[in-house]
Structure 1
Amino acid sequence: MSKLTQAVVMLLFGGAILRASFTDLYLRYVKEGLRPFLIGAGLLLVAAAVMTLWYSFRSPSTETDHDHHEPRVGWLLILPVLGLLLVAPPALGSYAASQAGSVTAQSPESDYPPLPEGSPVDVGLVDYASRALYDAGKSMENRDVRLTGFITTAPDGKPMLARMVLSCCAADGRPIKIGLTGRAPIDVPADTWVAVVGAYSPEKGKDPVNNVDVAYLEVKTWEEVPEPKQPYA
């Protein structure tokens, strides 16, 4: 590949990374805390591209003679970069959740802290699952909670609430799944984002994919909501 081709690819790729980093698009790929590293990587790629272009135009005769013997297929590397610039991929959803086993809720080393004031109180799906499975709901006693996630379908056809959990990036995303009882959102299409309000349910289930315990929520009300800016837990 010629230096000119390398420079163009690096410039476009660096620009795509910076574009994603300065908007919410990067949240479709990595965790929020990795934004500074993406910006740094994008700037380095742009700087390297500029230096390569400068060197290429500074020695045009040598570069032209070298390019004459190189296949033009190298320019096809621009296509995936243009895809990154022009196409915003959807966040991982119900299909990914149905194919992967639920993450294991972690048992704390000490008691769970009380929930914040307010009713209902917003609780993350991982936090709810941990409190429900390892605290038997004691820290949520007589409290209504609100969980936000997308609808996925259990093997028995019943709706479940899910959200993808990232360790680093979307490639390692795994779901946290919550079973729904009571006034669950029946006949709601998969991947629909909803906010469900309810209370702790002692019911438990098993994720058939990896046999992990699944907590349940007794749903009182629910409403459809837009996909959040940060779709991952």
Structure 2
Amino acid sequence: MLLFGGAILRASFTDLYLRYVKEGLRPFLIAAGLLLVAAAVMTLWYSFRSPEGHDDGHGHEHHEPKVGWLLLLPVLGLLLVAPPALGSYAAEQAGSVVAQPDGNSDYPPLPAGDPADLSLVDYASRALFDAGESMRDRDVRLTGFITTAPDGKPMLARIVLTCCAADGRPIKIGLAGRAPIDVPADTWVEVIGRYTAQTGKDPVNNVDVAYLEVKTWQEITEPKQPYA
């Protein structure tokens, strides 16, 4: 418990926890880590104060099974080896999330700036359910990692979390125009382009996939918050 609580606190006080859960869950992780550490310290204190508590009354001491030490392996793995955030492999195995309509007949104006920064979910929703009307004659900027479509062409993707990485689902955007060809999967890129009426189908779950007409793109480092 002491090591597990320490591992949770270490992840919570750095950006490491963002590979596992949404940003808003940080206070709960810290609280859980502190409770585990406190419980472990109290257990150790009680054990050292009451060694007779391990005796069965007949002069025989009880010992915990040695296999219990194997529980340390995942904790040590978390402390010593931090797995990467979900990436292209997860995106290729799962179907794209279904972009939801805004609920209004008119989408709000794009954010100020040129290009306008949009999330992949927002772009897909505007492209599929608004026919791009709210993005006419505007350049937009999308950020995600490269994944490979079944036809071998690149797609832009990002993992969407409801709570944690266990329920992560990809949102995928097809890339037309000057798309980043021959870029390795899991490479993070920033693409600038405009709405195109081109659409496709995700073969995993057969949902509609929006496309972006790419004008320029550049490789970037993985953002602090890799999930959408």
Q: TM-score w.r.t. structure 1 length?
A: 0.93
Mapping of residues 77-92 of structure 1, within 5 Å:
77-92=71-86
What SS does structure 1 have at the residue aligned with 2:198?
Answer: strand
What SS does structure 1 have at the residue aligned with 2:185?
Answer: coil
Are 1:21 and 2:12 an aligned pair? yes
Shift of 1:170: 0.4
What SS does structure 2 have at the residue aligned with 1:203?
Answer: strand
Alignment partner for residue 106 of structure 1, among 88, 100, 104? 100
What SS does structure 1 have at the residue aligned with 2:52?
Answer: helix
Shift of 1:71: 2.1
Cross-structure match for 1:31: 22
What SS does structure 1 have at the residue aligned with 2:137?
Answer: coil
Which runs of 5 or more structure 2 residues have no equivalent in the other structure?
A: none
Alignment partner for residue 127 of structure 2, among 128, 132, 143? 132
Cross-structure match for 2:50: 59
Shift of 1:64: 6.3
Cross-structure match for 2:40: 49
Of Structure 1 and Structure 2, the greater helix share is in: 1
C-alpha deviations, 1:24-79, integer Å up to 9, x for none?
A: 00000001111111111111111111111111111013336676443222112111
Change beyond 3 A, Cα 1:69–1:44 = closer
**Partner Cα distance (2:61, 2:134) in 1:** 68
Q: Which amino acid in structure 2 is aligned with residue 63 of structure 1?
A: H
**Partner Cα distance (1:163, 1:207) in 2:** 14
Are 1:150 and 2:145 an aligned pair? yes
Aligned length: 224
Q: Give % identity.
A: 84
Shift of 1:187: 0.6
* Pairwise CA RMSD: 1.2
Cross-structure match for 1:40: 31
Are 1:223 and 2:218 an aligned pair? yes
Change beyond 3 A, Cα 1:77–1:67 = farther
Are 1:172 and 2:163 an aligned pair? no
Cross-structure match for 1:6: none
Shift of 1:152: 0.5
**Partner Cα distance (2:156, 2:45) in 1:** 53
Alignment partner for residue 95 of structure 1, among 89, 96, 107? 89
Cross-structure match for 2:201: 206
Change beyond 3 A, Cα 1:71–1:120 = same
Moved beyond 6 Å, runs of 4+: none
Are 1:196 and 2:187 an aligned pair? no
Cross-structure match for 1:7: none
Q: Which amino acid in structure 1 is aligned with residue 88 of structure 2?
A: S
What SS does structure 1 have at the residue aligned with 2:128?
Answer: helix
What SS does structure 1 have at the residue aligned with 2:171?
Answer: strand
Which runs of 5 or more structure 1 residues have no equivalent in the other structure?
A: 1-9
